[in-house]
Amino acid sequence: MKATMLNGTLYIDEACDDVSLSASDRGFLLGDGLFETLPVLHGAPLWWQEHRARLTQSANRLEMSLDPVMLEHTVSQLAALSSEANAILRIALSRGSGGRGLLPPEEARPTLLATLAPLPDGLAFQDMSLATSIIRRNAQSLTASIKSNNYLDNVAAAQQAEQAGVSDALLLNTEGKIACTTIGNLFSLHGNRLTTPPVSDGVLPGIVRQQLLTLAPQWGFVATEASLSPEDIKKADGLFMTNSLRFIRRVTAWDDHAYTAAPDDPISQLQTHMRDYVAKLTGVTI
């Protein structure tokens, strides 16, 4: 089953195809909007409080209105539809309709669009490969640290990765430091030490990224935020990517460098800890 809610109105299955936005919606015309994506596991929207906080903080930074009552109603309605299955919930907020030009209208009426789709089996914890993109991430850009509708750089980098025959692209920032992939945060592993680039290096403050920084000490690891160079990750014992749908994905190869894996190695241990933690939160084993 699929479902959509547009400004509080629910559409199910075929009716979703009839949902339409205003031709002057700034989210479509200018990318003037934000989004969040999270798994709903048998009716439980995982880490919803963290996603809601990030969406709210980003909206405040952009001076974009967000109705918290409608937001909660939207999430609860859609999550309830997935009480017996796992699903992907995507919430998109735009500044709404406006006239021509870049400046927002004085009385903007935001658009809140949310969709629910089945969560494919096997999406989480898959191994992956990376190739360095020629596209650079601007650490000084506002959009580097918020989940905005301006994803064209990521789209182009993902196309490059597909053409190179790898799972995803690794993005450096304009200073040549490691930033992220097109869809998630990166961690390097040296012994039991996990290192991920700081937000100041052009990194989105990912939800699973923060979970790992918080939980790693309880799992026998040391987690730090520090800038990483390509040489740093080449010397690492391992490399992995995190995001809210795929959780922890081991990187097996990056450009011409291969990472070795062994049964019950530290990345496998982290994946097991994360599976157990999610099961504890939701009662669902992923």
Would you write out the chain's pLDDT as a tens digit for each of its 286 residues? 899 999 999 999 999 999 999 999 999 999 999 999 999 999 999 999 999 999 999 999 999 999 999 999 999 999 999 999 999 999 999 999 987 889 998 888 899 999 999 999 999 999 999 999 999 999 999 999 999 999 999 999 999 999 999 999 999 999 999 999 999 999 999 999 999 999 999 999 999 999 999 999 999 999 999 999 999 999 999 999 999 999 999 999 999 999 998 889 999 999 999 999 999 999 999 9
Dmax (CA) of the chain = 59
> Sign of dihedral through CA atoms 267, 259, 123, 222?
positive
How many Å apart are CA 146 and CA 148, to the nearest integer?
6
Output the pLDDT for position 54. Answer: 98
Residue carrying the six token digits 């309830």: 80
Output the pLDDT for position 262. Answer: 86
Which SS3 state, helix, strand or coil, does residue 144 take? helix
- CA-nearest of 142, 152, 150 to 58 is 142
Judge whether 243 and 183 are in contact, CB under 8 Å.
yes
- How would you classify the pairing of strands 128-137 and 168-173? parallel
Phi, psi torsion values for 166, nearest 5 degrees: -120, 170
Judge whether 174 and 136 are in contact, CB under 8 Å.
yes
Q: For residue 180, what is the DSSP state?
A: E
- How would you classify the pairing of strands 86-94 and 111-118? antiparallel
Output the pLDDT for position 243. Answer: 98
Output the pLDDT for position 111. Answer: 97
Judge whether 132 and 172 are in contact, CB under 8 Å.
yes
Domains of the chain, with CATH numbers? 3-118 (3.30.470.10), 128-282 (3.20.10.10)
Output the pLDDT for position 99. Answer: 79
pTM score, two decimals?
Answer: 0.96
Residues 6+ apart with CB under 8 A from 79: 40, 43, 44, 45, 89
Judge whether 36 and 55 are in contact, CB under 8 Å.
yes
How many Å apart are CA 238 and CA 276, to the nearest integer?
22
Residues 6+ apart with CB under 8 A from 57: none
- How many CA within 13 A on the CB side of residue 206? 28
Distance of CA 38 to the CA centre of its chain: 8
Output the pLDDT for position 228. Answer: 98
